[in-house]
Amino acid sequence: MISSVILFYVLKNIITQRQDEKLLQDKEIIARYLKYDWPLTILDVDDFKSKYPIKDTLYYKDTMMYQIINGVENYELYRQLTSIETLQGKTYKIIRRDSKLQTYEFVFIISISAGIIIFLLMLTIYYVNMFFAKRAWLPFYENLNTLKNYSVENKKPIKLVESNIDEFEELNISITKLTEKLSSDYGNLKEFTENASHEMQTPLAIMQTKLELLMQSENLSNNDKQLISATFSASKRLSKLNKALLMLSKIENQQYGNIEELFVNDAILKHLELFEDFFESKKISVSKNLTLNTKVNANPLLFDMIISNLLSNAIKHNDINGDIHITTNPQFLTVSNSGKALNISSESLFERFKKDSTSSESFGLGLAIVKKICISYQWDISHSFSKGQHHFIINF
């Protein structure tokens, strides 16, 4: 469109210039006839100087001429040359006109034709370029899709589509090496986790057994029994800490597959029964608002861990004669409990080893585990405190 407009004005100026040159030539011919007294049968020439004394001049302009063609009156655009010259002592005013209508029509047709040709050419270039670009980028997008679906748990090497483009082929080589390195590192980490779980738990179990036997000895003083009891408690805490850290590592490395469709209410009711003695010991009242057939897709062990850690946290940080309220629906799971305000922010509550300073029994890993599990399933978990109530909300 822009090129057609530019072409129109360029051709218009060029043709106008050519018209001016032709008009000037015609004027020179008329001037020669007047100068040498050649007969001008088609012109009626008067002495212009005697009527309008004026200097010699020459100028061009566009003018409208009234015409009657085939009985139809109209105005037509003309290019006009006006020349005032003194020839053999006489001053003449020479006017020469040439129609611009046909010229403009010719320029307009050429401009439109050129615009259509340019548009079709650009359209052809665009689609040809899109066709070849799509073919050139097809291996890249196929490899990108393969990379999105790649998992380090799959021991098979990644298979990428070969490309004739050097840059894409170099990218394929780099991706292949990177995935091989990731798979190797993942295998080593998984092996370390499994070995650590086995090798560390075994000596801890032996230590606890020996300490239990030692505590039963009759030849120990009260001071010795207290020291052994403290050591036994520390070994149990160490064992729990080891299990919790290994659990976090496995969750982060996505070593828990086996995703099933689980009924949320069944898991909650099961754990409420398991924690019933703890509720009674602190005289905590439990209320429920459970929506029927609330389901999630998750690993059963990990989802049980979420419910267990949330209820354990609600009991541990609750008041005597406190309350716990549980709400479920297809979008949310909410566990609320009474208690004091925390000394740390809600965001810090889900970090490792972050805990309220008033609570010294926990490791500060329970809610971190819950957070990691939620992240692995793309769930959101948040905490808020209002009117003496803590609210933990999981958005499925």
pLDDT band with cut points at 50, 70 and 90 for residue 96: confident
Report the alpha-carbon angle 225-230-236, nearest 5.
125
Q: What is the pLDDT of residue 44?
A: 42
Residue 42 has pLDDT above 60, yes or no: no
pLDDT band with cut points at 50, 70 and 90 for residue 301: confident
Q: Which of 252, 282, 307 is the last residue of a domain?
A: 252
Q: What is the pLDDT of residue 240?
A: 72
Residue 333 lies in a domain: yes
Interval 132-142: pLDDT, tens: 888 888 888 88
Number of folded domains that form the chain: 3
CATH number of the domain residue 308 falls in: 3.30.565.10
Output the six-digit token pair for 110: 């050429």
Q: Which of 213, 228, 252 is the last residue of a domain?
A: 252
89, burial (CB in 10 Å: exposed 0-12, middle 13-18, buried 19+): exposed
From the CB of residue 223, how many other CB atoms can be counted at a distance below 10 Å? 8
CATH number of the domain residue 231 falls in: 1.20.58
Interval 190-224: pLDDT, tens: 777 767 666 677 777 787 788 877 777 777 777 87
Indicate whether 77 and 41 sit together in one domain: yes
Residue 156 lies in a domain: no
**Upper half-sphere CA count for residue 351 (Cβ side, 13 Å):** 8
Indicate whether 298 and 391 sit together in one domain: yes
**Upper half-sphere CA count for residue 343 (Cβ side, 13 Å):** 6
Residue 151 lies in a domain: no
Indicate whether 384 and 275 sit together in one domain: yes
* Residue-range definition of the domain harbouring residue 25: 2-107
Residue 49 has pLDDT above 60, yes or no: no
Residue 8 has pLDDT above 50, yes or no: yes
Lowest mean pLDDT among 24-33, 54-63, 229-238, 252-261: 24-33
Residue 284 lies in a domain: yes
Indicate whether 266 and 368 sit together in one domain: yes
Indicate whether 185 and 244 sit together in one domain: yes
Indicate whether 230 and 267 sit together in one domain: no
User: Average model confidence (pLDDT) for the chain?
Assistant: 78
Residue 290 has pLDDT above 50, yes or no: yes
Indicate whether 179 and 293 sit together in one domain: no
Collapsed DSSP state (helix, strand, coil) of residue 82: strand
Q: What is the pLDDT of residue 34?
A: 61
Q: Which of 188, 217, 252 is the last residue of a domain?
A: 252
What's the rounded mean pLDDT across residues 157-166? 84
What's the rounded mean pLDDT across residues 234-246? 74
Residue 136 lies in a domain: no
Q: Give residue 165's Cα distance to chain centre.
A: 27
Indicate whether 299 and 176 sit together in one domain: no
Residue 345 lies in a domain: yes
From the CB of residue 389, how many other CB atoms can be counted at a distance below 10 Å? 15
Q: What is the pLDDT of residue 324?
A: 93
Residue 147 lies in a domain: no
Residue 153 lies in a domain: no
Report the alpha-carbon angle 105-108-110, nearest 5.
110
Note whether 237 and 257 are within 8 A (CB). no
Indicate whether 239 and 275 sit together in one domain: no
Indicate whether 247 and 277 sit together in one domain: no
Indicate whether 6 and 68 sit together in one domain: yes
From the CB of residue 346, how many other CB atoms can be counted at a distance below 10 Å? 14
Indicate whether 101 and 172 sit together in one domain: no
